[in-house]
Structure 1
Amino acid sequence: MVEPANSYLLKLASIILSKFYLCVIIVQPTAAMASATITLLDEAQPQLKVSKISAVAPAIPTSRQRIFLSILDFWFLPFRNVQRLFFYRISAEDEYSLVVDRLRESLSSVLVYFYPLAGRIDNGESGRPAIDCNDDGVEFVEASIDMPFQLLERDGFERRPFFQTLVRVANPLLHQNYTPPVLSIQVTAFEGSGICIGTTLHHAIADGNSFWHFMKSWVECSRGLPVSKPPDHRRSIFIRENKGLASISLKAQEVSNDRFAGAKIFNFVPDDLQPEHGKPVGGSDPQNQEETAQNWVDPSDKLELVYSKFRFKKERIRDLKQRAGASSSFVAVTAQFWRCVMIARGVPPEEDVSFTVLVDLRGRVKPPLPSSYFGNCISVGVVKIKARKLVNEDISFAAGLIEEVINFCTTETYVNNMMEWLRSPDNGYPSFLSERGRYATNAVGSPRFPLYDIDYGWGKPLNVQLLSINGIGGMVLDPASDGGGSIVVSTRLPQHQMETLSELLFV
């Protein structure tokens, strides 16, 4: 006989309060019971206890050196933290202390190859940002939390406020103090055979491809395997000689394709080659740039933002690609999401809406870089269009715009001028962000990243999520945990807009 929901709620509450988390609840789950679980998680304020903080250095001392940050690393200097959570179920045989020892020892081994992660960023005597490869180590935090892991599993690992405690630094805000560790690892034990590995990485050290390269190499060391793809640390490839700054401006230029009349793409143009129809978009004062960037990370209007994730199954993606005439699943899914987010946000018809995409350059620069290049190797592209134009056209219009900006921002001329523009201390991602407009959407992540291949030896993660989602209505694209070609998109919006979005996406 199934217990009434209120009886279940009382029982579950008593388990939490008494901390007898291993008691078995022998009832069948119902909608009411699931609601009770969610309510408890919403209201829960579990206490995190940090038992130890240490520094993990490379197992073999590395030669001390300074690696200057490349021009492409400069994009991300002001944004210190990229945070991710990995949730694992561990067996009773895998005691927490043994898991921690294995993680610490294998981390020490992999840092021999990824030694910049054990260093610190500073400006040195020259004032030029660099990684001081001093083997000071990765911050390693051991913690526990009075929350049953089974509740998170039952809740599908939906984002909860206390997730912020599962990483060392609570908020990924602007940060100009580069003395802290560039990488922090926090291993948190839950009640009931579950752990979370939280990572906090300074974005100026590595982009997404480099982060996942490091994680897969760490896994190899944990499993007693050699590092199959040693990293390439030649950041000097993107370091320009200081011959004086070229005069480059960031401008919004009309798209040449008549199909997209009225759309504008951000371009980096030498001042002596500026077309008459190019509208300057740079030059906003530094205070405005900082406020805009801060607002992008943590909206100043204090909207009650909620987080949700949407799964696009393989069959749905195939249908979207056909309707959009898209060349990739990424383009098809982001086109659908961009249109629907702008509709859900109720953007006025004559307002500009923008889409920002980050594109890997490793195989696109000349000569091409190996996939093992460790650092930031990203081009950033932005396209703007009037809201009415975006939402009144079908998905093929949005997909075409996204493909247009991807192709445009990966040309040799664009990349060279972008790097020249980044050399100026007044330029960078804050100034870039400040010009995108109020209704800006960005797409990060990739369904090709190996989120669910990070198996240290006790099984694949049950859930992986990017904790540091920025902007309102931004997208994080990940592969589904069970594979099969599905894509999961995470975002954050005010509650009523999220409800509208969920109704629009799969129509």
Structure 2
Amino acid sequence: MAGDLPEVVKKEETGGLKVKITGKTHVKPVKKLDRKECQLVTFDLPYLAFYYNQKLLLYGDNGGEVRFPEMVEKLKDGLETVLEPFHQLAGRLGKDKDGVFRVEYDNDMEGVEVAEAVADDVCIADLVAEEGTATLKELIPYNGILNLEGLQRPLMAVQLTKLKDGVAMGCAFNHAVLDGTATWHFMSSWAEICRGAQDISVAPFLERTKARNTRVKLDITLPPEPAAANGDSKEAAAAAPPLREKVFKFTEAAIDKIKTKVNSTNPPSDGSNPFSTFQSLSVHIWRHVTQARNLKPEDITVFTVFADCRKRVDPPMPESYFGNLIQAIFTGTAAGLLLMNPPEFGAGVIQKAIVSHNTAAIDQRNKEWESAPKIFQFKDAGMNCVAVGSSPRFKVYDVDFGWGKPESVRSGCNNRFDGMMYLYQGKDGGRSIDVEISLEEEAMARLEKDKEFLMEN
């Protein structure tokens, strides 16, 4: 661990939190490990031009019973232990002699960056009520940092901020190294150690070349001004319509009602399977967002989902596979067809795209990419799109480090664009789902007033 840095105050010019960074250290695996290298594969490489994936978890201090210094030390001690099996997160991006990207780890590397901060005048309730990310980004590290910058900086960073009545844990993960399933496997394992476990219950499966072993050389360098690519420059800000974020909370009863409506033709007339909760909620959002955008009937609208391929590849990979094993699935239709038909029409479009993305389709997609590699940008999701990241399958509210479950789980401001949404399990548990979505301001204003979308009628 390194020494503290001088105190720095981070404050947005307008409406930001007053957050004081009081120190910064680096955490390595508690045991020294031999140098390790792991090739990035076709499932990883397209995300080099995305930004670090950000998560924010808010925890209460149980009425002052849990003190911030003790929380920080417990988290650092647990991190030292859990980084032994998850050592890749303590490494850096590198390239081998042939120019193939890989994750490199050795004991001379700094490890995971951990910043400590204070925002004593901020309450958890204020942050839970916050709908946008402009304020929350002060609590999360690596805003506007491209994954490619993992060549020069840690692959994981944490900011622990003392609040008036709790702690904010902001995490940034290099998305070229791991996907959502791997992220929450790591988080739950870290929490497990902090609760007193001697070892984690499920070790990560680190042999990512078992899923794909084609070596792809990429000639990609950092842009001169990565901040401008994230819309932070005045020119970019002027060109891009302003976005708003909002969290819509769907109760278990609302989810059941949506699913029942979409499956009202039962069995489906075309012989397909009943629509899942995910497909039912997705078409509900897709239709109402399309309506809120006031698209013309002939305008094409695209639905995009980043699908987990662990069970779809041959041979299948374990759930504990550590890396990216996702692919973007794109499907679309005319706005008029989506809105004039009953919801099962759109659900069928989504279901067909998901079902058809089988082993052969995944292999074909990989071969096409390997023959002509394309580095995606985070907003390459399609026209008038609704794109789904994260999954309500992830047990985000079970990440308990020893002082209770989180009060709220959110995504940061990175990788946001018009139509991007994150699905999380609701805090109430069961089948409740939180939908965190970014839209242009006018469309968001119309969506907020849509009683049918909100399930208020």
Q: TM-score normalised by the shorter chain: which range applies?
A: 0.7 to 0.9
- Matching of residue 132 in structure 1 with residue 71 in structure 2: no
Equivalent of residue 445 in structure 1, options 387, 390, 393: 390
Distance 2:193 2:354 in 1: 36
Query: 1:66 is paired with a residue of what secondary structure?
Result: strand
Query: 2:449 is paired with a residue of what secondary structure?
Result: helix
| CA displacement, residues 145-190 of structure 1 (integer Å, 9 cap, x when unaligned) | 243215516x634335221111121225575562211100110111
- Matching of residue 499 in structure 1 with residue 437 in structure 2: no
For structure 2, the residue ranges without an aligned partner over 5 or more in a row are 1-11, 264-273
Whether the 8 Å contact between 1:46 and 1:147 is mirrored in structure 2 is no
Distance 1:306 1:45 in 2: 16
Distance verdict in 2 for CA 1:98–1:338, change over 3 Å: same
Partner of 1:147: 121
Partner of 1:312: 250
Q: Residue type of the partner of 2:438? A: R
Percent sequence identity is: 29
Compare 137-146 and 98-107 and name the one that shifted more. 137-146
Partner of 2:188: 216
Distance verdict in 2 for CA 1:42–1:465, change over 3 Å: farther
Q: Give the deviation of 1:443 after TM superposition.
A: 0.9
Whether the 8 Å contact between 2:36 and 2:104 is mirrored in structure 1 is yes
Q: Residue type of the partner of 1:115? A: H
Q: Give the deviation of 1:361 after TM superposition.
A: 1.3
- Matching of residue 166 in structure 1 with residue 139 in structure 2: yes
Distance 2:217 2:38 in 1: 22
Distance 1:217 1:177 in 2: 23
Equivalent of residue 20 in structure 2, options 45, 49, 59: 49
Distance 1:400 1:486 in 2: 23
Partner of 2:361: 414
Whether the 8 Å contact between 1:58 and 1:111 is mirrored in structure 2 is yes
Q: Give the deviation of 1:339 after TM superposition.
A: 0.8
Q: Which structure would you say has the larger RCO, counting Cα contacts within 8 Å and 6 or more residues apart? A: 2
Q: Give the deviation of 1:385 after TM superposition.
A: 1.3
Q: Give the deviation of 1:66 after TM superposition.
A: 1.2
Whether the 8 Å contact between 1:90 and 1:194 is mirrored in structure 2 is yes
Distance verdict in 2 for CA 1:193–1:324, change over 3 Å: same
Distance 1:230 1:150 in 2: 33
Query: 2:129 is paired with a residue of what secondary structure?
Result: coil
Equivalent of residue 479 in structure 1, options 425, 428, 448: 425
Distance verdict in 2 for CA 1:476–1:57, change over 3 Å: same
Equivalent of residue 177 in structure 2, options 186, 201, 205: 205
Partner of 1:58: 29
Q: Give the deviation of 1:422 after TM superposition.
A: 2.5
For structure 1, the residue ranges without an aligned partner over 5 or more in a row are 1-40, 246-286
Distance 1:243 1:76 in 2: 14
Distance verdict in 2 for CA 1:427–1:302, change over 3 Å: closer
Q: Give the deviation of 1:301 after TM superposition.
A: 3.1
Distance 1:300 1:358 in 2: 30
Equivalent of residue 283 in structure 2, options 323, 335, 348: 335
Whether the 8 Å contact between 1:469 and 1:492 is mirrored in structure 2 is no
| CA displacement, residues 303-341 of structure 1 (integer Å, 9 cap, x when unaligned) | 232211112222222222222225211110010101111
Partner of 1:33: none
Distance verdict in 2 for CA 1:118–1:486, change over 3 Å: same
- Matching of residue 454 in structure 1 with residue 422 in structure 2: no
Partner of 1:113: 85
Whether the 8 Å contact between 1:352 and 1:437 is mirrored in structure 2 is no
Query: 2:43 is paired with a residue of what secondary structure?
Result: helix
Q: Residue type of the partner of 1:147? A: D
Partner of 2:212: 239
Distance verdict in 2 for CA 1:236–1:426, change over 3 Å: closer
Aligned residues: 418
Whether the 8 Å contact between 1:80 and 1:204 is mirrored in structure 2 is no
Compare 228-237 and 163-172 and name the one that shifted more. 163-172
Matches within 5 A, 1:237-316: 237-241=210-214, 301-316=239-254
Equivalent of residue 68 in structure 1, options 20, 27, 39: 39
Partner of 2:304: 356
Distance verdict in 2 for CA 1:150–1:374, change over 3 Å: closer
Equivalent of residue 90 in structure 1, options 61, 85, 100: 61
Distance 1:244 1:185 in 2: 31
| CA displacement, residues 186-229 of structure 1 (integer Å, 9 cap, x when unaligned) | 10111x22110000001111111100100010011101112000
Q: Residue type of the partner of 2:385? A: A
Larger Rg: 1
Q: Give the deviation of 1:43 after TM superposition.
A: 6.5
Distance verdict in 2 for CA 1:175–1:131, change over 3 Å: closer
Distance 1:308 1:496 in 2: 13
Distance 1:397 1:292 in 2: 40
Query: 2:244 is paired with a residue of what secondary structure?
Result: strand
Distance 2:154 2:103 in 1: 11
Q: Give the deviation of 1:230 after TM superposition.
A: 0.6
Q: Give the deviation of 1:442 after TM superposition.
A: 0.5
Q: Give the deviation of 1:126 after TM superposition.
A: 2.0
Q: Give the deviation of 1:130 after TM superposition.
A: 0.3
- Matching of residue 399 in structure 1 with residue 371 in structure 2: no
- Matching of residue 81 in structure 1 with residue 65 in structure 2: no
Distance 2:120 2:379 in 1: 39
Whether the 8 Å contact between 1:59 and 1:112 is mirrored in structure 2 is yes
Distance 2:372 2:26 in 1: 33
Whether the 8 Å contact between 2:144 and 2:230 is mirrored in structure 1 is no
Partner of 2:336: 388
TM-score (norm 1): 0.77
Q: Residue type of the partner of 1:74? A: L
